[in-house]
Amino acid sequence: MPELLDTQTIDDHVNQLTGWEKEGNAITRTLKFGGFPEAVQFVNKLVEPAESMNHHPDIEISYNTVNLSLTTHSEGGLTDNDFQLAEQINKLA
């Protein structure tokens, strides 16, 4: 089981990630695309890294906007898994 991170470690990780913010027990990022097809294509790219890590983001699509939220639900907060997946997502963005 992954371990919850302390506040300082979370802040350090968030400061190193482009585009991500801490919101409650999660980190979030919003991305905008040219249109709905591009937004869906991006979300489809997230399947492989999320499945390979067995760690899945909460995703909301609204036309050309994708809102992502990462938290380790089983632990009730942020773990290294969230930041590892955020880094993978940044590479795809």
Per-residue pLDDT of the chain (93 residues; tens, 9 = 90+): 789 999 999 999 999 999 999 999 999 999 999 999 999 999 999 999 999 999 999 999 999 999 999 999 999 999 999 999 999 999 999
The upper half-sphere exposure of residue 36, i.e. CA atoms within 13 Å in the direction of its Cβ, equals: 2
Cβ contact 93:50 at 8 Å: no
Closest residue by Cα to residue 92 from 58, 62, 60, 50:
50
pTM: 0.95
